[in-house]
Amino acid sequence: MRYTIGFPGTDPADLLVNETIFHNANGYIGVRSCFEEGYAPGINSIRGSYINGFYDFAEMKQAEKLCGLIEEKQTMLNVADTQGIKLFIDDEEFSLWNGAVLEGSRTLDMEKGFTERRILWRSPRGKEAEIRIRRLASFTRLPLFLIDYSVRALNFSGVLRFVSTHKGDVRNYSNPDDPRVAAESVHYLTPVRADIEGTSSFISSDTVRSGLRVCTGVTHTLRPEDGAAADCLPDTAVRKSGHRAETEIITTLEKGGTAQLLKYSVFTDSLRYADCEQRARRELREAAEGGPETVYRAQEAYLADFWDKAYLKIEGDEKLNTAVTYNMYQLLQSAGKDAHGTIAAKGLSGEGYEGHYFWDTEMYIEPFFTLTVPEIGRNFISYRHATLGEARKNAGALGHKRGALFPWRTIMGRECSGYFPSGTAQYHINGDIAWSVVSYYLAAGDFDFIVEKGAELLFECARLWMDAGVWYKGRFEIHCVTGPDEYTCLVNNNYFTNLAAKFNLRWAVRFYAMLREAGALESLARKIDLTADEIAGFEKAEQAMYLPYDEELGINPQDDSFLSKKRWDLANTPKEDFPLLLHYHPLHLYRRQVCKQADTVLAHFIFEDAQSEETIRKSFLYYEGITTHDSSLSTCIFSIAASRLGFREKAYAYFGDSAMLDLYNTHGNTKDGIHTANMGGVWMAIVYGFGGVRIAESGLSFSPRLPEQWQACCFRIAYRDSRVQVEMTGTGTTFTLLTGTEKIIQVYGKPLTLRDTLRVAGE
């Protein structure tokens, strides 16, 4: 599984996109794929290295200081630059902007877990060298980033000189014209210590306001042609200047010979390590002692296990299959592997949205991990539980006396959304988190985790609805909130929000009964002062929850006032006016029937049992005509909905728009980072859409519908103690129980027993 492009040239726009496409990450660290030697003068680069969950505070100025408005946010930091390596052949400096590139390629190897840049270069004086640079962020030694830099002399003998840099005085990228990234470059890190220890360098920096520390360490090994590690580096000098270190390595190379420079970098932080500086020294020493072969073997073994669990293959469209494989690999690279961080909107590939976590995690990404690598999905929920205290404070700041309200965007648990109409007002995030907890429980059957963390999350989220809602004429309503559609803000009874709250309340009641029956309730009830009377209130509100419905159209209105607004004429809107949010004032958008993304359509997918088939169908067709899909989260949901309704051509068209987004930069903003939620949505469009997978209390069900453009599609999912493979072809579907105990599954509504292999004809 490789993605390779030929020599991409030196166009500045392409360079920025490829920094994202070929970035290296492992869920803890992420490093953008910038050229080690740098670019020509005047060419911009977003040169960054990031740690998941590591942040500083930044001011967020409000024009009017109204009560409760957020004036401080967290932002992900560019923590250090350890990428720099300049190569000199005799006295000629290697660069794509001088000499001549005879051949070139960039490759991402998704089975071995590294990226590679290969260049056949002729110097201005005619010396020819093959340069191969591999980069890797280790999945098994999370602080480690490795650059494996080799040079083969094709037509010369001479002197090689490497100049490798380690910089602690770095800043974040900024763009005042793009609301998705920071508007100004602020000094977030203060280098406090730089040490040279033998041939290794260590730089420690403190955040300006959050009180965190990061330590980065760098060391090198030079290997001759036979691959044996040299006892010492020949002609090596390490120099320190302020909070930068520079290592110069000089060696000779005979014609036909190869020299291999190994640059080990480690990143550690005080969030995870009591002494991040000592941990950096230990990690660097152990990585270098083990050598690159140990790192490569562990990386390949880790990915072999991952691809075995997350196997998905499309036959009949290799380009699409590569894009989908790329998306899954990037989800793995982006996903936090502990409770200190989850998965940001751009993963660890860039600074778009400043490294913030959104509802994307629960609704678009967690399903992928829950059904492939459940322990990662469990980590996401653990992160929310770890920030529950901040969510309680957030609820209090908005005037709620009980319960928790999770922030719309955050890193460490506090709200970072300065524009509350389309941020903090999206109370549905509580329901999204509740849905993720229940989905994990239904798929994994992990009741112990519900006792430990999941139930408390649901209870505290449910309390929020009781305080935010109001009883009116015998029904329970929720006013002045914003649903998923950010072109319609601060409304009463958003359908998605009310239905998510109903789901949350129902499962809070359900978990209360389950914990009581298991004898596991008393401790938690005492901890959060939960009573039977409060649970009875949950049940009453759930049963009386108001869900808007229009008799004349036979649809669920997005909210109470939505259908009374003037309908936006999308067909006659100039193409250059999209996305609308960049060309029209928010109030202009809020007063019209126009959707940025799936809202009610999303509700009909997530909570499909709440409405009849006819209502879901009519609603889909109605909202299809007024949705711009200006959000990358939208077309994948429309694809799933279309699959469920039998609109097969539409399902495939919406799916194609989603699948290619990053690898082919279809939205034109991949330079700022990948779109992790869309990547998860693409997987859902295949598994939940074309595969028709559903998991409910009643069990596991399938309604496979293979797109006619494909010859076959095969995927694997985890369910309880088992792993199931689903292979769809034009004539039917084969279900195989790969591991675990036999299962009763439903296929097209018919219960079947899966013991080994089961073949079902197409519908």
- Across residues 482-493, what is the average pLDDT? 98
Q: What percent of the chain has pLDDT over 90?
A: 91
Q: Can you give 425-441 as a three-state secondary structure string?
A: CCCHHHHHHHHHHHHHH
Q: How far is CA 532 from the centre of its chain?
A: 39
Q: Are 691 and 672 in contact (CB under 8 A)?
A: no
Kindly tell me the burial class for residue 91, based on how many C-beta atoms sit within 10 Å of its own C-beta (0-12, 13-18, 19 or more): exposed
**CA-closest candidate to residue 428, choices 406, 453, 460:** 406
Q: What is the predicted pLDDT for the residue at 224?
A: 73
Q: What is the predicted pLDDT for the residue at 64?
A: 87
Give the CB-side neighbour count of residue 187, counting CA atoms within 13 A: 6
Q: What is the predicted pLDDT for the residue at 241?
A: 87
Q: What is the predicted pLDDT for the residue at 7?
A: 76
* Separation in Å, CA 342 to CA 267, 380, 682: 18, 5, 19
**CA-closest candidate to residue 509, choices 449, 438, 428:** 438
The pair of structure tokens assigned to 357 is 């976590």
Q: What is the predicted pLDDT for the residue at 1?
A: 83
List Cβ neighbours of 272 (8 Å cut-off, separation of 6 or more): 338, 340
Question: Could you give all domains of the chain from N- to C-terminal order, each with its CATH number?
Answer: 79-281+291-309 (2.70.98.40)
- Residue bearing the bigger pLDDT, 9 or 638: 638
| Cα distance between residue 384 and residue 763, in whole Å | 41
Question: For residue 579, is the peptide bond before it cis, meaning its omega torsion is within 30 degrees of 0?
Answer: yes
Q: What is the predicted pLDDT for the residue at 744?
A: 97
Amino acid at 660: M
122-139 per-position pLDDT tens digit: 999 999 999 999 999 999
Q: What percent of the chain has pLDDT over 70?
A: 97
* Separation in Å, CA 100 to CA 93, 104, 133: 12, 11, 18
Q: pLDDT tier at 656 (50, 70, 90 boundaries)?
A: confident
Q: What is the predicted pLDDT for the residue at 626?
A: 98
pLDDT at 177 over 70: no
Q: What is the predicted pLDDT for the residue at 230?
A: 47
- Cα angle 523, 525, 527 (rounded to 5 degrees) comes to 70
312-349 per-position pLDDT tens digit: 999 999 999 999 999 999 999 999 999 899 999 999 99
**CA-closest candidate to residue 143, choices 45, 25, 60:** 25
Amino acid at 25: A
Q: What is the predicted pLDDT for the residue at 234?
A: 64
Looking at every residue in the chain, the average pLDDT score rounds to 95
Residue with tokens 């014209």: 177
Q: How much is the pTM?
A: 0.96
Query: Which residues participate in catalysis according to the annotation?
Result: 486
Q: What is the predicted pLDDT for the residue at 658?
A: 86
Q: Are 710 and 652 in contact (CB under 8 A)?
A: no
Q: What is the predicted pLDDT for the residue at 228?
A: 44
